[in-house]
Amino acid sequence: MKRALITGITGQDGAYLAQFLLGKGYEVHGLLRRSASAEAVGERLRWLGVEDKVQSHDGNLTDLSSLLRIMQEVRPDEVYNLAAQSFVKTSWSQPLLTGAVTALGANNMLEAVRLVAPQARFYQASSSEMYGLIQEPMQSERTPFYPRSPYAVAKLYGHWMTVNYRESFGLHASSGILFNHESPLRGIEFVTRKITDGAARIKLGLAETLPLGNLDATRDWGHARDYVQAMWLMLQQEKPDDYVIATGRTTSVRDFCRLAFSHVGLDYEKHVTVDPRFLRPAEVDVLLGDATKAKNALGWVPATSLEQMVAEMVDADIKRWERRRQG
């Protein structure tokens, strides 16, 4: 039985990855960062019905000693570093924390693997935000990076350190440059969940308007459930490498609103407003990924359409609010 260690296991990607690996017969371990909201820590794992099947370990990406201890306890075959301060907007108000967790935290994980489990295969969660001010209409593994937020800069550090440890120490270390991926498990602070949650509340008569930021920003949105399979496929390859994971379709925030609201029979234009508070200091206007390499080398293609994903998210948010109203 293979053993996997996942950082960020209580997040969207971590929960779906845990479910996926358990389905493959893995023994799954997760790094658990203690927080004030401890009762909500396992919410996503519970949603997927796998919370009691995962072995958790107290630790923190900023504390190398805890990572070394966990690596010695688990002795993993595969390590997936998904943990990060991952909300772009917060990275401007907390740039040092973002750097400590998202950048140096990745370096700490690489160092723990190098020192304790150098045979383990390592996955680093890189981000399409690293492309920022895009240098090419479609972004591939060869497209130059131009990060436009502290989050993107931190992710770029983690990405290049992964390349560096691969080339310097011979680690089987791969990075997935994942474009935006969503699901019913997405955090409510992200625009996609804001939209589907807003559509659900307005449909149920719990709200009348939904304030958002830039409606014209466009993203390449896929389903997290599909994307975690790509992570696993990378670590099954003989040689480590970096891969763009994307759908090849870009959609504006405005059109995402249209899809979500129309799913419940509403006109988004009557409810969505633009609030300057939600505008970024430096905007990333367009992201569109070219996943040709992943398709050819990994045999990976997305299985869920944008329309299917939006409908699933809206339906899940309606169920959440209906449960809350019932007490």
Dump pLDDT digits (tens) for 164-206. Answer: 999 999 999 999 999 999 999 999 999 999 999 999 999 999 9
- What pLDDT, on a 0 to 100 scale, did the predictor assign at position 36? 45
**Within a 13 Å sphere around the CA of 76, how many CA atoms are in the beta-carbon half?**
31
Checking if the pLDDT of 38 tops 80, the result is no
Round to whole Å and give the CA distance between 76 and 21: 13
Burial 83-101 (b: 16+ CB within 10 A, else e): bbbbebbbbeebbeebbbb
Checking if the pLDDT of 19 tops 50, the result is yes
The 10s digit of each residue's pLDDT in 228-271 is 999 999 999 999 999 999 999 999 999 999 999 999 999 999 99
Output the CA–CA distances (angstroms, integers) from residue 87 to 3, 168, 232, 276, 325, in the order listed.
29, 31, 24, 18, 29
- Chain mean pLDDT for the chain: 95
Round to whole Å and give the CA distance between 31 and 45: 13
- What pLDDT, on a 0 to 100 scale, did the predictor assign at position 318? 98
The 10s digit of each residue's pLDDT in 74-99 is 999 999 999 998 777 888 899 999 99
Kindly state which CATH superfamily the domain 3-181+222-245 is placed in.
Answer: NAD(P)-binding Rossmann-like Domain (3.40.50.720)
- What pLDDT, on a 0 to 100 scale, did the predictor assign at position 326? 85
Mean pLDDT value of segment 130-155: 96
Checking if the pLDDT of 4 tops 60, the result is yes
Confidence (pTM): 0.95
- Residue 93 makes CB contacts below 8 A (sequence gap 6+) with none
Checking if the pLDDT of 39 tops 70, the result is no
List the chain domain ranges: 3-181+222-245, 187-219+249-284+304-326
Output the CA–CA distances (angstroms, integers) from residue 100 to 96, 129, 135, 241, in the order listed.
6, 18, 28, 25
The 10s digit of each residue's pLDDT in 280-314 is 777 778 899 999 999 999 999 999 999 999 999 99
Round to whole Å and give the CA distance between 206 and 227: 33
Architecture of the CATH domain 187-219+249-284+304-326? Alpha-Beta Complex (3.90)
- What pLDDT, on a 0 to 100 scale, did the predictor assign at position 37? 53
